[in-house]
Structure 1
Amino acid sequence: MTVQEGYQYAKKAYEKWGINVDEVLNKLKQVPISIHCWQGDDVGGFEVNASELSGGIDVTGNYPGKARTPEELRQDLEKALSLIPGKHRVNLHAIYAETGGEAVDRDQLEPKHFENWVKWAKDNGLGLDFNPTVFSHPKAEDGLTLSHPDPEIREFWINHCIASRKIGEYFGKELGSACLTNIWVPDGYKDVPSDRLTPRIRLKDSLDRIFAEEIDEAYNIDAVESKLFGIGSESYVVGSHEFYLGYALKNNKLCLLDTGHYHPTETVSNKISAMLLYSDKLALHVSRPVRWDSDHVVTLDDELREIALEIVRNDALDKVMIGLDFFDASINRVAAWTIGTRNMIKALLYAMLVPNDHLKKLQEEGNFTDRLALIEEFKTYPFGAVWDYYCDQMGVPVKEGWLEDVKAYEQSALANR
């Protein structure tokens, strides 16, 4: 069966349930995924005086071919993007600044240090998002930054975050697409603290100062990201979910949910509808935790499908800003981007090909038998045939065909590094 024949067969199956597959694909084209640059170089960055990874972040594996320069990283991103259907965004950390060999500390970063990224984004029709890098630095060695008891250290990180917002504004103005600037800090304690409140007071004060200057949301959108625990902060994290949820609601900021930042029995999918009742928008960093916040490559698992279903069936595609956050150095890094991003898009397509309104009606009527039966049957509907057609129409490889492209790229580019 050809791709076209498979698509026609699938269309008929879905049309029985009132699902217009052509309209679904047109809608899917409009959904950008923010692809994180740091998969390509194991969260290394390009600082002149780079520090070892810290802040509860660890990258394992030594697969050959990681990007060593901004040019190589952009080249690898272009390769991955050529294998992923749709138009998307790229998410940068501050450590990916290009300073021309000059040692520029993070509180002194300026838009000019990201001019090459903006030019590249323009050439490729991409939006850019941003994150201050509040880890892997001598002033973060004890695991405290914006909540640090030393006012000089706090001041350094406040100024870094202020500078990051200005860089985000620059991205938005230059690219005509608002930049999501997200703040995450690793602050916390390994053992049970004797005072949980005071560090949170300091963190709140730091954030208030960072956000004191209003920036037009047409250019920069602010987000804050929580975490339950990390390496070195097993017992207490200052910026907990409750802290940032309250701060975001009170101060009109986006709350960003990272799927690896909660207890293993918590699911981000369950939080989306509750939070959208009180927030116009929210943001996601989609990852795959394995026992802890291990940032494995995103797979098409139950939770990813459920996240996509919550976004789609609640008509929230324009309310939830979807980004990715994983880093695996044990496999080909271009393949990691391709697998994870294609899976995120697949999950959205799957959710769009479910008769969500009918299933909602069954629930309201108390018809749980039909609801469960249909949910299970739709898991084996021919959504794969629609995905193949979408990839073909968007000019990217169908099925596993992309893997041969990655292998060829590995031989021609990555193997020479």
Structure 2
Amino acid sequence: MINTVFDILTIRTDFPILNRKVNGYPLVYLDNAATSQTPQQVIDVIVDYYRNYNANIHRGVHALSQEATDKYEEARLKIQKHFNAAKSHEIIFTSGTTQGINLVANSFSTFLKPGDELLVSAMEHHSNIVPWQMLCERTGAILKVIPMNEDGVLLMDTFKDLLSNRTKLVFCNHVSNALGTINPIQEIIEESHTIGAAVLIDGAQAAPHIKADMQKLDVDFYTVSAHKMCGPTGVGILYGKEEWLNKMPPYQGGGEMIAEVTFEKTTYADLPHKFEAGTPNICGGIAFGAALDYMNAIGFDSIASYEQELLQYATQKLTMIEGLRIYGTAKEKTSVISFNIQGIHPYDIGTILDKLGIAVRTGHHCAQPVMDFYHIPGTVRASFNFYNTKEEVDVLVEGVRRAKKMLL
């Protein structure tokens, strides 16, 4: 891998899966918003863990346990540095973004009473809707929605009107998984803080493209999944401000999160262990750190610049297809294109593309309210990563043309 120059051909050699064929065609993987592929450098770290020092962490005095503990906590420090958290114990390892959101939703019930209000954006993934609905059912709080327009852009004037002294928590994705829109989270955070509301940002779709700075954003909570960032599935992090994490009760009980246990009373461990009950995904955490090393060696500025080239190129090529409509046309967006062709169900297009070795996502993308807004059953979503090429975009465009010809 080249560290100083963005070299797409060299980068692609780092990803073994890109060499395989699907249905006799070279794989064109354009489902990166669902999960990214894993470079050999990260695969090697996973193999090394299970081959050489697989052991449980924190409690063991033997050599393997100590080595695994050191590697795991080194990964936490890498993640702290990457997201510029003030303290390493503000990084809580989770199974992914969904668990991070549920952790906050469960613990935050302590601070809510009937009539309190929560604000959610109209373009959220189900993972950033359902836990809050469940929280409202438990507490009597009220869920209100920040609307969006036809371009897939939040109506910020309406958002400001919705804010009041009853607003306790605002949650929004940094980037829409269905549309690619980059939301104005800095403004959302600042406006929410003026009335004393906390803010949780779902960073799952942003983190592969944008290097978010927790201290600069001044955000209260930020959640991320490793598998969107060249890492393994089943691991992620919740960033939380120390003051909030100290006030919040534990989400789960068990080993690791305790200081002392008797049948009469249990006291809880200090951060971050207070929120990390049970044996964690040790290998996953270590591999997440390795994935961040890999992406940072390439450079997030270089990644963002190259992906914007791909987005512009693909947008230009796809819009030349008669009857094709792109959903999500915000000026600020990441490398995601959601589209339909008039008169054709998105599933049918996706099925034909798969026969040609092209992997895209079809359906509502766990963002059914977004699809309801546009009065459609779903979209075809092509999502690009830094290891994709313009040649692959050409293959996609030709595949869509072929599907259209077959289906109309």
Q: TM-score range by the shorter chain?
A: under 0.3
